Amino acid sequence: MVITKLHAVALEKLLQAEDEARTPIQPAEVGEEVARELEAMGLVRFETPVCLALTYKGRELTQVLRELVALGPTPYAQSEDEAKDDVYIVQGHGLPPISDWDDAFRFLGSEVIAMLDAARRAHQAAEHSEEPLLERGLAARVRHRKKHKDYVALTEQGLRILEIYETTHPRLEINYTLADAIRALPMGPTPASNFPATQHDRYLLEGMRLISYSVPHGGICSFTALGQAVKQALETGGFGEGDVLTEDILAALANYTRDPKADHPSLSMLQALGYVGADGDLLPAGEWALEAYRLLHEGARSDVWTIAVHAEDIAVLRAIDAIWQKATSNREEAPTFEKLRTEMIDRKVRQYKALLEKYGRKLNEMPHKYQQIASKFQEAKNYAQWFDDNFDLRAVLHSLESFQLIESIEDRKGREVFRLTEHGQRVLADGAEQVSSTSVKSITMTRKTFSSPNRTWYNEAVEEGLIGTAAPTKRGYLYANLAETIHRLPFLTRFEQRVFDAIPEYGMTVSQVFRELEKEIEPEWIKWALEKLEARHLIEVLPDGNIVETEAGKLLDRALSGVPKGMGFPVTPLIVRVLQAVAEVGSLYRKERCVRILPRQFADARRRSGLAGDAFQNALELARAAGYMGQNSINEAGLLILEAVAKMNPSEKLAGHVGFDSES
């Protein structure tokens, strides 16, 4: 949905004509291109080829515009006595007359919708969205009288516009000239300047919700979930005259696939457009067209899935792989914890010796993240102790397993060993040194309806090699696919738990988290705690700078509320595997909210967990100490953990970043 001055003028003309019962407006009176753009948005319809009328949603939107113009640009405020509840406006304003708008002013666009959505979810606007929303009269400065807090929140008009957007059905209608324009455009995310389309074509594509722009000023552009499906369909299909991809064509294709043997008058048309082959089989273009049909009727996903792999995670993956390589010639070699610890000590000693040789006494010229540890390395008399004091190997192993990159298993000798999963092997083969959640979600978030990464996120993804000049790279698609296919398990380090504890369900921004914790935790560790929390789908950092807890995060918050202070890790993947195994063999008592297990069933639970005996017993004792289990039962906190696991992962197989062509 795009509303500029020309669109607003057209909408007002149409509503005035209705109010005055005048002759219907003709397209030429508002401009043929503007009329087509508003039709694509679902705000006007052609009653005849020469007669325009507002749709129900178009009328609603125009009424909201009138309200904002009636308020005017002069600031207004509510007195505390006028407030109907605890929140009242201390400063707000409307819009100037539409005739006074700048020609380039975008009252609405996908970037504004994204800001409205983020502000509604967080119950406040954040630093990136405050001014743009205030400028449009869609937000106001408010005061909460009980909390004695001032902040920026959506106005009634802002909330109504978001509701109008969500309930308006755009009109998908692509002719051969627009199809050619789509084929020439990059997939994105990419700077908007890299989109070589006419303004009219861009408005059509944005109006149909095929492309979106980034918060706050639209600097980055990308195809949306629907847009990606449409673009892929048009890469090998949709060649012809006239309309080549419309809702009617998609409906005909869907009807054909439901019963290919029936007589279909539209079959020859579908074959001519390249959606169905001469043998009657669906062609690749047809498969993508069906995905577009699904998205039109079911909607795009609402969740953003991502993954984060720190440099230390990569280092441990490499060490595990190296030990398994040795095991091919010596069966006694296996990555037990102690063997892995020895390997990591050796690798870290070599790494820091090389750093000191390179920088000598000029430690201040060394990258900041190495300086403190390098200083301690110089003074170390015992390298094993130095390693244990500065690196938490067990935490890294838990983190890797929380993203299904490794798995703790039992070897033939009954020992706990660690093996790479298929996902872990893919990460190792890629060779990235580090990949942030922010970079990955810069790709996966485009699978929503109106989301593009903001400039900072985009730049980070480019720097880490996940986005190229105009589209995700091979690495970008790899990690986007991993984000959508791994099975996450809960895990929190001490730093991550502290950051997680500081974040409420809503009402906090990234900058506020840093300000609150900067005296306790290094900024780099705060950043990575946020990255890991988001990658585990416990929080979501919104494009405007707000942070909200996900449903999984809320459940985990409740589960952890009774964990005794001082536990090293309040929850680990191994604890979860024990809980899952006990839940499988035990009996659920719904009224009591617990699972009971007989003592003799623990042996079966251990086998189901796949853990070595000692690892299972240790995790079982930790589960009891944390309050997730009694002696022979899982209590409500433990069940909340299991519910959180379900919410940490997609509930169905995602149609996402698989099979796309990408830059190398």
pLDDT of 394-416, one tens digit each? 999 999 999 999 999 999 899 99
Residues 157 and 8 grouped into a single domain: yes
Residues 613 and 499 grouped into a single domain: yes
> CA–CA separation, 516 vs 335, rounded Å?
40
> CA–CA separation, 297 vs 300, rounded Å?
9
> CA–CA separation, 268 vs 109, rounded Å?
38
Cβ pair 427, 405 in contact under 8 A: yes
CB-CB neighbours of 469 under 10 Å? 11
**469 domain residue, yes or no:** no
**280 domain residue, yes or no:** no
> CA–CA separation, 166 vs 113, rounded Å?
10
pLDDT surpasses 90 at 664: no
- The percent of residues above 90 in pLDDT, for the chain, comes to 78
Which pLDDT value is given to residue 660?
47
Report CA 461 to chain centroid distance, whole Å.
14
Residues 537 and 607 grouped into a single domain: yes
**475 domain residue, yes or no:** no
b (16+ CB within 10 A) / e for 334-364: bbbbebbbebbbebbbeebeebbeebeeeee
Q: Count Cβ atoms within 10 A of the Cβ of residue 258 and give its class: 0-12 exposed, 13-18 middle, 19 or more buried.
A: exposed
What tokens does 357 get?
A: 């040789």
Residues 23 and 164 grouped into a single domain: yes
Which pLDDT value is given to residue 655?
57
End residue of a domain, out of 127, 149, 170: 170
Tell me if the pTM is above 0.85: yes
pLDDT surpasses 90 at 339: yes
Peptide bond into 75 cis (omega under 30): no
Residues 536 and 623 grouped into a single domain: yes
What 3 state SS string does 614-632 have? HHHHHHHHHHHHHCCECCC
**470 domain residue, yes or no:** no
> CA–CA separation, 181 vs 179, rounded Å?
5
pLDDT surpasses 60 at 659: no
Residues 324 and 394 grouped into a single domain: yes
Q: Mean pLDDT in the chain?
A: 92
End residue of a domain, out of 123, 154, 170: 170
pLDDT surpasses 90 at 589: no
Residues 129 and 57 grouped into a single domain: yes
Cβ pair 406, 317 in contact under 8 A: yes
Mean pLDDT for the stretch of residues 335-341: 95
**473 domain residue, yes or no:** no
Kindly provide the residue ranges of all beta strands, DSSP E only, lying in 133-286, ordered along the sequence: 139-144, 149-154, 173-175, 190-191, 211-213, 220-223, 243-246
Residues 165 and 22 grouped into a single domain: yes
pLDDT surpasses 80 at 215: yes
What tokens does 233 get?
A: 């369909």
Which residues face 106 on adjacent strands?
4
**565 domain residue, yes or no:** yes
**523 domain residue, yes or no:** yes
Residues 511 and 631 grouped into a single domain: yes
Report CA 572 to chain centroid distance, whole Å.
23
**SS3 of residue 4 by DSSP:** strand
**SS3 of residue 367 by DSSP:** coil
- Residue 357's domain comprises 311-434
Give me the phi and psi of 513, to 5 degrees please.
Answer: -60, -45
CA distances from 156 to 57, 139, 162 (A): 17, 8, 10
Closest alpha carbon to 577 in 419, 401, 439: 401
Residues 499 and 611 grouped into a single domain: yes
Q: What is the dihedral of CA 15, 19, 20, 25, to 10 degrees?
A: 30
Task: Please report which confidence band the pLDDT of residue 65 belongs to, taking 50, 70 and 90 as the band edges.
Answer: very high
Q: In 174-246, which ranges are continuous DSSP H helix?
A: 176-184, 199-207, 225-236
- Overall number of domains in the chain: 3
Give the model confidence (pLDDT) of 87-116 as tens digits.
889 999 999 999 999 999 999 999 999 999
Mean pLDDT for the stretch of residues 198-217: 96
Task: Please report which confidence band the pLDDT of residue 653 belongs to, taking 50, 70 and 90 as the band edges.
Answer: low
Quick one: which H or E segment has residue 217? none
Choice among 216-230, 281-295, 376-390, 467-481 with the minimum mean pLDDT = 376-390
Give the model confidence (pLDDT) of 492-524 as tens digits.
998 999 999 999 999 899 999 999 999 999 999
Residues 502 and 640 grouped into a single domain: yes
**445 domain residue, yes or no:** no
End residue of a domain, out of 434, 466, 482: 434
What 3 state SS string does 24-68 have? CECHHHHCHHHHHHHHHHCCEEEEECCEEEECHHHHHHHHHHHHH
Residue 411: which CATH number? 1.10.10
Residues 423 and 507 grouped into a single domain: no
